Structure 1
Amino acid sequence: MILEIEKVKNVWSDVKDILSVPHTEKQYKKLLKILDLLIDEIGNNEKHPLAPLMETIGNLIEEYENDHFIQPNAEPLQVLRFLMDEHNFTQKDLSELGSQGVVSEILSGKRELNVRQIKALAEKFKVSPSVFI
């Protein structure tokens, strides 16, 4: 156990900014950018060597959001429908999700959002990807 702590101590200064709970908006935004890069790299590949890092950073972001933002107590589909209503969007306004058939399946609950779609929705609505997970 002591050996593992020594190993961490040797690299901590290099990784502490991405492995610590963010306490400022600047730190939070930095972690969001890193998470976006990891999502692009890893996608849905749970066996990717960086998948645990992506999960850890996601948890750190969630911790910050739970303390600083009101989190919707709703399912991802309900959040999507709410945001669509707020922006007066129709199914046609969600072309980044895929074809109209794909969008229809998502909105009817027949298909779940994938990582790419979650990222696109987060960017479109200027919200954290976590609201769609």
Structure 2
Amino acid sequence: MPIVNHFIEIETKQGINIHNITLQIQELIESTSIKNGQALVFSRHTTTALAINEYEERLLQDVKVYLHKLAPESDRYLHNDLHLRENIPPDEPMNAHSHLMAMTLSTSEVIPIVDGKLALGTYQSVLFFELDGPRKRTIFCQISGES
């Protein structure tokens, strides 16, 4: 069974932003000979996440409000006591809220591939969540299966 590894790079904006990466994953699949199998999509950062859901503007705004309620940036977090932490870079942000948001979501998704296409439902998209932007982010995509 062939296994093909790819990276998707995204430049994100300030704060929480949600990117639809479905098309990029589908294009990676089409660049392989794999017709049936699966695509593993993995976020390589502790303040980002992945989910499969609807990519609709009003829902995306609801998601952002929901995440801010779960972990308000203004709350007190021990992780943000930068002066008490060891070996942190000088540009380390106070981003405990972003870590907590990421932990409530997921770092990976596995999507079936059928006849060379992602087997997503009608309203499903693969969404990448930036929770601590702006940053340059890398998403790992491993496509495996049979031709």
Using structure 1 for the length normalisation, give the TM-score.
0.23
Using structure 2 for the length normalisation, give the TM-score.
0.21
Whichever structure has more helix as a proportion of its residues is: 1
Quick one: higher RCO (CA 8 Å, sep 6+), 1 or 2?
A: 2
